[in-house]
Structure 1
């Protein structure tokens, strides 16, 4: 399928990946005042493609047309109103089907990932699911943890919970996270018990630490623009102390499995007291195991309780965290990074933080307003980002694959999107949804890659933390197979991979290289492909000779194969180009 041009391109990619990809960062500057949505010019097709790369799992021709027709704001309103699709219901349906075939079988991690791709590739609630995916990398649980992977119906429910709150209020999202049993298992506050002086037991502090460090306020005090507050000697000020962790840990005692009672058996999860929906229903409070002693944290004191009241303690704690001035810049900046650009200017962060603080109607933490502010900010929509070498972000592997599959109208033979783990960096993507290696996600939001152009400028490129020689080659090889043969499980009936791209629009242009490359440019790069890359891909396409039809027509199959190879080559070379890998 591929010849010398492909090999040369792949060699350039492998050798120069770090320098080329790490050049992406974030746009500097920008007006410090808010820009009304109405002041944005009507989107062109290129504008719409860029916007959809930030707000969906990848542009499609149909969705580009829709953004052009509706405008940004109306498209967002339409997406906000779309009903939420459910991962848990998909998991339940897969589980029922497996059990009908064999009562000993059940759905598991694969079915969670199948549902993820089903919704990412073909789901109608694209914005909600894309934001939920971003939230899953901030409020992390992972199926790499055995206690979580043993409860995958709960993982599907956790993904639904993130989607439910993606356009809701941050305070409610924080409670959804804190009380979800999968988070309880992952960060060990499910079945967490109060202190016991005689035995020396103290409350588990794991969740208390991470809910501050990762889910709400971060390690250092922030100005509204996301820059750190400094003490007199110029050092960042800490947001919390070890004593704050210990005090907050008492709040998260006495929480365990959902059910109709609060018996000891249910608290411990005994087989005789397991509700059928306990994997996804919010944890409930068990007074017997909740600390009644004084709880001090972040300048707040919950007085000693005469009777244990886990719900009252939790309310004070979550209200305190949600009201902290760090939350707007801390969460807002990470949403910008996950959707738009790796290094937003302080002014961009400040504008989003201001919307978090007040949505215009006096409400704090309105995530719908925050998402709108992130996507419609001048730095997100400005055409200047196309030529700014610091603008944009490195596409993470999962989003590279989803962009390809959506651009080429991929369909699932089974209707189930049977694509499972793609963890292996050497042969696959080096990333799978809901399978990060730790609570710190696949990459840290502030990761500055060493020995790169971006590192020399102190710019963060989070996705570079999983970008290295092995993952670059692994991605290239994986996508070569994906372009040629599709992805997913091999079908017993059709005898091909379950998810297949459609090149129907490209095949008629196979003997028109310039037009073919322009269509690839439009679908994968929102018409941002530079002249040098166009010339290179066109030359590679031309190098695949198309036979002349002989008098008997007996070589038609060879002609069709050559045309298909031209199309595949054009698509593949675009997908492995640094110009595609960097989302502008």
Structure 2
């Protein structure tokens, strides 16, 4: 499709010019706000009225990996709240570990000597994201994976992909439970212990000068719970003398770091060999050591006084008790007043808008507090709030978010009922800037995710307007071209690989219009008179709001520029090729438009 190359620069300019409908009341680490506790209004769920199909599609764009006809029908019939409650009650449709184990066995591997790896984790992700019926659970887990980050780009994590599969399962299970339980599961997961170096972290040694590793202690506060600065109940920043009030100090980090000493591999006994190697002197290594919660090793746990965030664990003398220290630490973190607004803002950002008003943040934080840290209550409040559901957001330039590349791909695949030939959803890695998405699940470049929640593009109108645009951190000329190239190839050949363990003549994941030669879109593409209807049908699948006339005026002529030959009894292949190219062009121009890449 030659138009792709000519539109590369204009697509990038369009992304900049539209401002991406983004902005955000400033995140904790980014300044702003005033002093004093804000009055926290009660949650305001949207009045329960039956949504239109467009409204249902918009809701599903926020709540899932992309609308489908079946889910739109269900939301219209049930209403937002009833549909959401049914989703929140659904069990996980897939176990990452079971999926990984099954694929490993099929490849002839064992747990001790695996042949499966990172790819099978990604295959499990795409299986659930595109075909799983537990869409809200999966979507929330994906959002949490960008807050409680571990990354397969780290060799310790990447070389323990079965452990990462377990971590993904944990986010799916605990992500709709109590935040306190989620935080404990994160803290004790050996993959997190590997990534942030709390696995076999040892107590201080005054003789050698060794001090506990502070990595996890720092990040559990900064990124996983309370943030860098103190917040009011509505997420605005508390100030003193015009400056933000820090949430913690270096001494809090040092005190908390002592808590996370003496934790290492699950092992039958707590001897030194288990602590360092996961293998006791009298046993073999537990093949599940990277998926079981870490256990405590009192001999390596600091028994000295641990003071942090106003809490103190007394000197334990010769009776070091890692579990008791951990309980105090996690209770203190989970009970901190910052947790509600800190987590509320980020979950709103990940699912609805980069620019929640303080009132929106306050209502979600209030629902979270009223539910005693219930993540389901938080998710309900995020998705059902009047600010999320109001049609005002469709025209408000500060409302919405740039749709990250992974979610653009998943929405496309779901909109066009994509199927996996192998049943394994072999999408693979999509890291590349030049012909990929510049993003692969569970492969963030650092613990700070693919983008920071407080990111502001430099030198643009968003910064001048005081708005944030997190996903713009991975949006630049190379990545825009890479996205267009990737989707162009997806429309031409399908998505993913041909398959490394089965015979195949095409890419594994195929949208419906590539699979079906009698597809309705191809039928509409047959005649010039039906091209407007073709564009409308593509818009109905991909856009939760009606396609603007200006965009139609771009797409329809581009489609019409592809001539369909007059049948002569010998040129049916050319006719079918032209019809399919018309469909591809209509879909590609929609996928590249701001109306698709920006979620409103």
TM range (shorter): over 0.9
In 1: Cα distance, 2:554 partner to 2:231 partner:
46
Instruction: Name the residue aligned to 2:340.
Output: 328
Q: CA deviation at 1:526?
A: 1.3
Instruction: Name the residue aligned to 1:560.
Output: 576
Instruction: Name the residue aligned to 1:12.
Output: 10
Tell me if the contact between 2:42 and 2:366 (Cα under 8 Å) persists in the aligned partners. Answer: no
Tell me if the contact between 1:142 and 1:436 (Cα under 8 Å) persists in the aligned partners. Answer: yes
Instruction: Name the residue aligned to 2:296.
Output: 285
Render the CA deviation track for 1:478-515: whole Å, top value 9, x for unaligned.
Answer: 11001111111114633111111112332222131111
State which drifts further: 37-46 or 466-475: 37-46
1:72 paired to 2:80: yes
Number of paired residues? 573
Change over 3 Å in CA distance of 1:236–1:513 after alignment to 2: same
SS of the residue corresponding to residue 493 of structure 1 reads coil
Q: So what's the TM-score if we normalise by structure 1? A: 0.95
Instruction: Name the residue aligned to 2:142.
Output: 133
Out of 179, 182, 194, the position equivalent to 2:191 is 182
Tell me if the contact between 2:109 and 2:115 (Cα under 8 Å) persists in the aligned partners. Answer: no
SS of the residue corresponding to residue 506 of structure 1 reads helix
Q: CA deviation at 1:33?
A: 4.5
SS of the residue corresponding to residue 489 of structure 1 reads coil
Out of 299, 321, 324, the position equivalent to 1:312 is 324
Instruction: Name the residue aligned to 1:167.
Output: 176
Tell me if the contact between 2:405 and 2:437 (Cα under 8 Å) persists in the aligned partners. Answer: yes
In 1: Cα distance, 2:131 partner to 2:106 partner:
21
Tell me if the contact between 1:87 and 1:160 (Cα under 8 Å) persists in the aligned partners. Answer: yes
The within-5 A match list for 1:454-465 is: 454-465=462-473
1:505 paired to 2:512: no
Instruction: Name the residue aligned to 1:39.
Output: 47
In 2: Cα distance, 1:384 partner to 1:38 partner:
13
In 2: Cα distance, 1:35 partner to 1:482 partner:
42
Tell me if the contact between 1:60 and 1:407 (Cα under 8 Å) persists in the aligned partners. Answer: yes
Aligned-residue RMSD, C-alpha: 1.9
Instruction: Name the residue aligned to 2:426.
Output: 418
Instruction: Name the residue aligned to 1:540.
Output: 558
In 1: Cα distance, 2:22 partner to 2:347 partner:
17
Q: CA deviation at 1:156?
A: 0.5
In 1: Cα distance, 2:377 partner to 2:591 partner:
33
In 2: Cα distance, 1:263 partner to 1:389 partner:
60
Change over 3 Å in CA distance of 1:383–1:171 after alignment to 2: same
Q: Any gaps of 5 or more consecutive residues in structure 1?
A: none
Q: So what's the TM-score if we normalise by structure 2? A: 0.93
Change over 3 Å in CA distance of 1:104–1:205 after alignment to 2: closer
SS of the residue corresponding to residue 497 of structure 2 reads strand
Render the CA deviation track for 1:185-218: whole Å, top value 9, x for unaligned.
Answer: 0000000011111111110000000000000000
1:402 paired to 2:402: no
Change over 3 Å in CA distance of 1:48–1:556 after alignment to 2: same
Tell me if the contact between 1:265 and 1:273 (Cα under 8 Å) persists in the aligned partners. Answer: no
Change over 3 Å in CA distance of 1:270–1:368 after alignment to 2: closer
Instruction: Name the residue aligned to 1:115.
Output: 124
SS of the residue corresponding to residue 39 of structure 1 reads coil
In 2: Cα distance, 1:205 partner to 1:312 partner:
19
Tell me if the contact between 2:19 and 2:461 (Cα under 8 Å) persists in the aligned partners. Answer: no
Render the CA deviation track for 1:58-92: whole Å, top value 9, x for unaligned.
Answer: 11111111111111111111111111121111111
